[in-house]
A and B are shown apart, each in its own frame.
Chain A
Amino acid sequence: MKGSAGPPAGPPAPPYDPVELAAAILACLPDMSPLRLHALLERGGGPVGALAALDRGIAAAVLCSDAPERELPARQTLARTWQEGATLDRITRVLVERHPHVFVAGRAGYPIDELPDRPAVLLAEGARPDALHAPRVAVVGTRGATPQGLDDARDLGRVLAEAGVTVISGLAIGIDAAAHEGALSVGGAVIGVVATGLDVVYPRRHRALFERVRSAGLLMSEVGYGVQPRRYAFPIRNRIIAALAQVVVVVEATLKGGARITAERAVEYGRTVMAYPGSRRNPAAAGTNALLYDGAGVVLEPSDVLVALELERPAPRPDLRTAPVGEARAVLHACHGEPATLDQLASRAGLAPAAVVAAVRALERGGWMERARGLCWPR
């Protein structure tokens, strides 16, 4: 187990109607995949029909009728498992116990518009189902973000939340978490879309964040309870993030990373994609710069995203930090806005190491500089 979490506090989901219950049970079947679920629903004539087919013991016929050749053996085995009464009983018990919100494609309340590969069923836990009714913006990016990128993500999350926008992200380390933290810090609504079961916490160090997301928003997934993280599941999950949002903002991304996949999906779905420009020397900005080159919207400040949502631009927040003076100012200036080593700062500012030490410490205390990865990052 990668860690598990208890059911959410807050208003319970409404009682299920037969279609929702059937859909939830089907989504929670072991080794279910979007394609298999689609096949089952298509051939079975909707969730209720598909579940009845399992009950009648003709799952194999339904599931395998036009499956691709190499999928056949797996589906035949699965059909046998799925027909077992014990499997169905176990799933029903978990659903009764945790009682997640169930969204079924094509029915009222389903949050995603008509898209070819949208999930047939979405499960959600959390205290704020109303997070789905606000404008929604996805904030995504690399796990190896720079301190500056994390700052930007936090800031964007906060500004969006203050404007009443729901922040969607993937709860990964780095940009994802920073965006949610920013939104949560001002009491905003958030949606975390996970690639595991809703009872699994991954990455484990985000346990506290998961709980905050549950109580201030929704945790969503298309896979059943108990599903552990698998490498291939994350890009598949990213399509849901793109589909749920009106605007997808990439704060920092490498050339080959999950955030690029989210952005590509968003373009496919006709969503607005925006990105933060970065230094051409910053590997964590290579992906975003490439997006901008391909025509993504430029985010120079967080409110640019609100403008894209046709919301009002808020008044700029005053910088409350005390401006650095003397040698500290010289050292900050010597960064040229980019990370630098202590040695580089000393050379450029023409200061003795002891003076640089004092200046960097003063800048750190004043919130003008952050040290990470052995470098000094101006902020």
Chain B
Amino acid sequence: MLAAVRSATLIGVDGQPVTVEVHVSSGLPAYQVVGLPDAAVRESRERVRAAVLSSGFEWPMRRITVNLAPGGIRKSGSGLELAVALGVLGANDALPAGVLDGVAVLGELGLDGSVRAVPGTLALVDALARAGVECVVVPALNASEAALVGGVRVRAARTLGELRACLKGEEPWPDWDPPPDVPGDSDSSIAGDDELVDLGDVRGLPFARSALEVAAAGGHHLLFCGPPGTGKTMLARRLATILPPLTHREALEVTRIHSAAGEPVTGRLLARRPFRAPHHTASTAALVGGGSGRARPGEITLAHRGVLFLDELGEFAPTALDALRQPLEERSVRISRQPVSLTFPAGFQLVACSNPCPCGAGAQGCRCSDAQRERYRRRLSAPLLDRFDLRVRVDAPESVDVRGESSASVAERVAAAYERQCARYADWPWSQNAHVAAGAVPRLLPLGPDADDAWRALIAERILTGRGATRIRRVARTLADLDDASAIAVEHLDGAALLRSDVP
């Protein structure tokens, strides 16, 4: 009187295969779930029972024990309910033996026996496919999302009754609806106005635009600093329109993370790099992940392989900003919890805007006192400012300035420079200049014949920290890539030095 059904649960942003074992034995009617279930799993009992009864099956009036294996991992969410229900049916001889071999089941149950969508389907199916499962049964609403994984047969389930009939071969498997045909609207943060936003809207500001282009091409962290109303935010938001395209593998990874975090996923791969713009009241946990209860990925993980945009950098809590420092270096964040610690990917590009002082006017016309300015400056800690490869002062354009180049033509140059980098770093674990390990910089980013002296002079004249010098060299390499130059020349070094000024 034992049945085992494969399913999966989410741990952080990754799936973890789980085997649901249901044992029905003689004894007083009882229902027991063991194997570290969380509250949501434990309370699934009522839903499973109602769904089984509503679907016209018998609920065994005996002792039912549900075991979730492996036992050491906390199971969360409601995605295991369908597997439990099938297990009960199997243990009660309501399913033919063997129909669930090599099959995994995901789904939440309604009291009427309907199968409801589960968050993180992509991550769950991905984990199951890796574990050797050949076929997954998922809620019909998640079927197209599950099909993105590839290499695994996807079956849709609409109701428990229909599912049993399909498994027994009495009915054909239902088709699932293809995903809606609207491309690109899943990047929720810039949804709505992507069509309207273009770099061509920005008048003048050639250096700020160039900084944006360099940031997009090389993946460099970027800080715009300047008085309010000069176009910092307008520029930064347009970064999303010129970023290099996602590769298929990257798109799958990003979509999986977003799905696991409960972000709406339409059943298509995300077409564009994520652009996340949390408000400055965001807490540390909201930014880097964690929080009470189940540790959730933060904005930096949702911005993985994309952009984290922090407007009004000086208004964020200093503790939240300092928490960004370690993920900025390691490109992942470790959330330690009893009993497990989770590692979330956090390979994001940081783009920030800041006012030069509390009143915002900066060098011209500011009425802040020395002490006020000093306090404001201290909010942005030096180690954080040091991590921006590009730091550019933005002031209002001059009256003579005209509209600039459109996003499309900039994006072309960016894509070309990005491909050059991908080719150069084919044998390395990174693909953009900004991520070249400091130790590999002298070897991988060689200077041109004339640039040696300029490099030494640059180091001598600015009192560069070792980190600062390396950052300037990486930016110089991106400038060279945008120029299609094989080695870093003097003008690239000079340009990189000028794009990293000591703001605010």
Interface string of A344-367 (1 = CB under 8 A from B): 101110001110111011001100
In the bound assembly, the distance between CA atoms of A354 and B501 in angstroms comes to: 16
State whether A283 touches B503 (Cβ < 8 A).
no
Q: How far is the CA of A146 from the CA of B205 in the complex (A)?
A: 24
Identify the interface centre among B363, B365, B457: most chain A CB within 10 Å of its CB: B363
Q: Does B318 contact A (CB under 8 A)?
A: no
Q: Is B393 in contact with chain A by the CB < 8 A criterion?
A: yes
With A373-B363, A373-B503 known as contacts, the answer to whether A344 contacts B498 (CB < 8 A) is no
Chain A nearest Cβ from B98, distance in angstroms: 70
Decide: A371 and B501 in contact? CB cutoff 8 A: yes
When chains A and B are docked, how far (Å) is the Cα of A146 from the Cα of B210?
27
Q: Count A/B pairs, Cβ under 8 Å.
A: 105
**A341 at interface, CB cutoff 8 A:** yes
Stretch of A12-20, A178-186, A252-260, A319-327 at the chain-chain interface:
A252-260
Interface contact B503-A374, CB-CB below 8 Å: yes
Interface string of A206-248 (1 = CB under 8 A from B): 0000000000000000000000000000000000000000000
Q: Is the CB of A256 within 8 A of B369?
A: yes
In chain B, what residue has the closest Cβ to A371?
B501
A372 at the A/B interface (Cβ < 8 Å)? Answer: yes
Closest chain A residue to B205, Cβ basis? A343
Bitwise, B221-235 to A at CB < 8 A (1) or not (0) is 000011000000000
Q: Given contacts A341-B394, A347-B398, A357-B495, is CB(A374)–CB(B502) below 8 Å?
A: yes
Minimal Cβ-Cβ distance residue in A for B495: A357
Interface centre among A348, A352, A361, A372 (most CB of B within 10 A): A361
A346 CA to B504 CA in the complex, in Å? 21
**Contacts A341-B207, A347-B401, A372-B502 given: A282-B363 contact, CB under 8 Å?**
yes
B401 and A283 form a contact (CB under 8 A): no
Fill in one digit per residue for B201-213: 1 if any A CB lies within 8 Å of its CB, else 0: 0001111101000
In residues 280-328 of chain A, which contact B (Cβ within 8 Å)? 281-283, 286
- B interface residues, tally (CB under 8 Å): 41
> Is B373 on the interface with A (CB-CB < 8 A)?
yes
Number of contact residues on A: which range applies? 35 or more
Quick one: given A341-B207, A341-B394, are A361 and B366 in contact (CB under 8 Å)?
A: no
In the complex, whether B30 has a CB less than 8 A from a CB of chain A is no
> Is A44 an interface residue, CB under 8 A from the partner?
no
Report how far A360 CA is from B494 CA in the complex, Å. 9
Mask of A124-162 contacts with B, CB within 8 angstroms, 1/0: 000000000000000000111010000000000000000
Q: Does A339 sit at the interface, judged by CB under 8 A?
A: yes
User: What is the distance, in angstroms, from A256's C-beta to the closest C-beta of chain B?
Assistant: 5
Does any Cβ of A come within 8 Å of B491's Cβ? yes
Nearest CB of A to B447, in Å:
16
**When the two chains form their complex, are residues A342 and B401 in contact, meaning their CB atoms are under 8 A apart?**
no
Contacts of A281 in B (CB 8 A): 363-365
User: Are the C-beta atoms of B498 and A361 separated by less than 8 Å?
Assistant: yes
- CB-defined contacts of A361 to chain B, threshold 8 Å: 494, 497-498
With the chains together, A343 CA to B207 CA distance in Å?
Answer: 6
Q: Is the CB of A347 within 8 A of B204?
A: yes
Query: In the complex, A95→B428 CA distance in Å?
Result: 66
Give B356-400 interface residues, CB cut-off 8 Å to A.
356, 361-370, 373-374, 391-395, 397-398, 400
Complex Cα gap A354–B207 (Å): 9
In the bound complex, do residue B491 and residue A353 qualify as a contact, i.e. CB atoms below 8 Å apart? no
CB pair B393 A375 closer than 8 Å: yes
A348 / chain B contacts, CB cutoff of 8 Å: 398
Contacts of A256 in B (CB 8 A): 369
Q: Which residue of A lies closest to B362 (CB)?
A: A373
Query: Which residues in A have their C-beta under 8 angstroms from that of B457?
Result: 365
Q: Are B397 and A347 in contact (CB under 8 A)?
A: yes
Output the least CB separation between B450 and chain A (Å).
13
CB of B498 within 8 A of CB of A360, answer yes
The CA-CA distance from A344 to B457 in the complex, in Å, is: 26
- Chain A residues positioned under 8 Å from B374 (CB to CB): 143-144
Q: Mark A73-94, 1 if CB is under 8 A from B, else 0.
A: 0000000000000000000000
Expressed in whole angstroms, the minimum distance between the Cβ of A338 and any Cβ of chain B is 8
Q: Which residue of A lies closest to B223 (CB)?
A: A374
- Do B395 and A341 touch (CB < 8 A)? yes
B352 to chain A, nearest CB (A): 14
- Nearest CB of A to B481, in Å: 15
Q: Are B369 and A257 in contact (CB under 8 A)?
A: yes
Residues in chain A near residue B208, CB distance under 8 A: 343
A144→B369 CA distance, assembly (Å): 9
State whether A346 touches B206 (Cβ < 8 A): yes
Are B393 and A374 interface neighbours, CB within 8 A? yes
Chain B residues with Cβ under 8 A from A364's Cβ? 461
Inter-chain contact B206/A343, CB cutoff 8 Å = yes
A residues near B368, Cβ cutoff 8 Å: 254, 283
**A374 touching B501 by the CB < 8 A rule?**
yes
By beta carbon, the residue of chain A nearest B359 is A283
* Nearest CB of chain B from residue A120's CB, rounded to whole Å: 30
Give chain B nearest CB distance to A260 CB in angstroms. Answer: 11
Asked if A374 and B392 sit within 8 Å, CB to CB, the answer is yes
Say yes or no: A142 contacts B398, CB within 8 Å. no
| Chain B, residue nearest A256 (CB) | B369
A374 near B391: Cβ-Cβ < 8 Å = yes
A144 in complex: contacting residue of B365, B373, B494, CB < 8 Å: B373
Looking across the interface, which residue of chain A has its beta carbon closest to that of B496?
A: A357
Q: Whole-angstrom distance from the CB of B96 to the nearest CB of chain A? A: 73
Q: A142-B370, A347-B398, A374-B225 are in contact. Are A357 and B498 (CB under 8 A)?
A: yes
B:482-504 near A, CB below 8 Å? 491, 494-495, 497-498, 501-504
Q: How far is the CA of A146 from the CA of B367 in the complex (A)?
A: 14
Interface residues in B443-493 by Cβ distance below 8 A to A read 457, 461, 491
A371: chain B residues at CB < 8 Å are 498, 501-502
A84 CB, min distance to chain B CBs, angstroms: 38
Q: For residue A354, which residues in chain B have a CB less than 8 angstroms away from its CB?
A: 491, 495
Q: Which of A142, A283, A339, A353 contacts B361 (CB 8 A)?
A: A283
The residue on B at minimum CB distance from A255 is B367
A contact residues around B363 at 8 Å (CB): 146, 281-283, 339, 373, 375
> Roughly how many angstroms separate A371 CA and B363 CA in the complex, as a whole number?
13
B370 touches A353 (CB 8 A): no
A342 to B497, CA, bound (A): 12
What 9 A-B pairs are tightest by C-beta distance, nearest first?
A374-B393, A374-B503, A347-B398, A283-B366, A281-B364, A342-B207, A374-B501, A353-B206, A361-B494
Can you show 11 pairs from A to B with CB atoms below 8 A apart?
A255-B369, A281-B363, A286-B367, A341-B393, A341-B395, A343-B204, A343-B206, A354-B491, A354-B495, A357-B495, A373-B356
A342-B207, A361-B494 known; 14 new pairs, CB 8 Å cut-off, are A254-B368, A281-B363, A283-B364, A283-B365, A283-B368, A342-B392, A342-B393, A353-B495, A354-B491, A356-B207, A358-B494, A361-B498, A373-B363, A374-B356
Q: Which residues of A contact B (CB under 8 A)?
A: 142-144, 146, 254-257, 281-283, 286, 339, 341-344, 346-348, 352-354, 356-358, 360-361, 364-365, 371-375
